[in-house]
């Protein structure tokens, strides 16, 4: 259902630190023009932790309106509170989202049983395709393949965004779940290996600045042009993906977007501007790959 290059879109802010409605429209057009296969608003890259619930819902609505059915919109609706996740997911469905990206509950560290019951309740109460987002480095909890396989039996849990960094775990997911669930890479730097074990795409940070390259890479792989996919990955996607993590995401990618003239605005605290040394490195990378004039 969801495959290819799905961008974890940044949230642009105005000079007054408000959601930039015009900027969202411009970013959506930029992505569709450059082959992005789906838009994911209000994820971590979209600074969801610092959006109020009102702003969160507004960004989802604005994105859906701007996309106008041309590509899928998968709204970030996760929370470490099941009631809160239900509210955000219900809103996304009502607003017309094609799916919901729901992170494993963070900080409170539920057991595997708790994870199962959390997603089961949302899936049973809200009839919308769900992508589970597993990112232990941020949440403090890892969804095991066995738990995911149980959840894959629920009809509207359709995919997993896997950002554990563990290819063994991802391979086990493919083995246990088969066609019941789609494996999507949650780490741009592992995109090619994930495709090689049966993944169908990526929810991407770096696609914010090189959407055509990420989309082309996945398409070339799917069409069997493995050498071409490898070249795009090794000589552009991979090195720029490294640059996107010189500091905590989304600091480098949002800084890159601003430098490139894309709608961006400032980061919201506690995300802070890049250090001078890292900013110089980032600018050098953007120049090297033709995204910024020297």
5 DSSP β-pair partners:
202
Catalytic residue among 57, 58, 93, 161: 161
What are the CA-CA distances from residue 198 to residues 1, 88, 146 (Å)?
15, 31, 18
Residues 134, 164 contacting (CB under 8 angstroms): yes
- Spell out a b/e string for 231-252, using b for 16 or more CB atoms within 10 Å of the CB, else e: ebbeebbbebbebbbbbebbbb
Closest CA to 187 of 138, 126, 221: 138
Question: What φ, ψ does residue 105 adopt, rounded to 5°?
Answer: -55, 130
Give the helix/strand (H/E) hosting 4: strand 4-8
User: Quick check: is 22 catalytic?
Assistant: no
Residue 236 among the catalytic residues: no
User: Looking at 85-198, which runs of residues are DSSP E strands?
Assistant: 99-103, 130-134, 157-162, 182-185
Catalytic one among 57, 133, 200, 246?
A: 133
Distance CA 188, CA 217 (A): 11
- Distance of CA 38 to CAs 88, 205, 257, 270, 283, Å? 19, 13, 19, 28, 28
| Catalytic residue ranges | 133, 161
């Amino acid at each position: 259902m969801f495959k290819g290059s799905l961008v974890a879109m940044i949230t642009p802010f105005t000079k007054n630190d408000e959601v930039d409605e015009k900027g969202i429209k411009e970013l959506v057009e930029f992505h569709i023009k450059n082959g992005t296969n789906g838009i994911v608003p209000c994820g971590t890259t979209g600074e969801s932790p610092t959006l109020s619930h009102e702003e969160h819902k507004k960004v989802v609505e604005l994105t859906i309106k701007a996309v106008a059915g041309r590509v899928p919109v998968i709204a970030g609706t996760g929370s470490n509170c099941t009631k809160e996740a239900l509210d955000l997911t219900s809103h996304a469905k009502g607003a017309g989202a094609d799916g919901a990206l729901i992170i494993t509950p963070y900080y409170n560290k539920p057991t595997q049983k708790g994870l199962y019951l959390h997603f089961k309740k949302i899936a049973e109460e809200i009839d919308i395709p769900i992508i589970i987002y597993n990112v232990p480095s941020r949440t403090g909890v890892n969804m095991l393949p066995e738990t995911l396989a149980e959840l894959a039996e629920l009809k509207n849990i359709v995919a997993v965004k896997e950002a554990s960094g563990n290819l063994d775990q991802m391979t086990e997911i493919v083995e246990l779940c088969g066609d019941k669930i789609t494996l999507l890479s949650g780490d741009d730097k592992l995109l090619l290996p994930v495709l090689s074990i049966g993944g169908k795409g990526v929810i991407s940070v770096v696609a914010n600045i090189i959407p055509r390259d990420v989309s082309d890479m996945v398409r070339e792989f799917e069409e069997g042009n493995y050498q071409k996919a490898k070249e795009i990955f090794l000589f552009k996607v991979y090195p720029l993906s490294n640059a996107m993590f010189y500091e905590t995401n989304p600091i480098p990618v949002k800084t890159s977007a601003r430098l490139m003239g894309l709608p961006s605005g400032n980061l919201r605290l506690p995300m802070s501007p890049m250090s001078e040394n890292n900013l110089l490195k980032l600018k050098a990378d953007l120049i090297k790959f033709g995204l910024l004039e020297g």
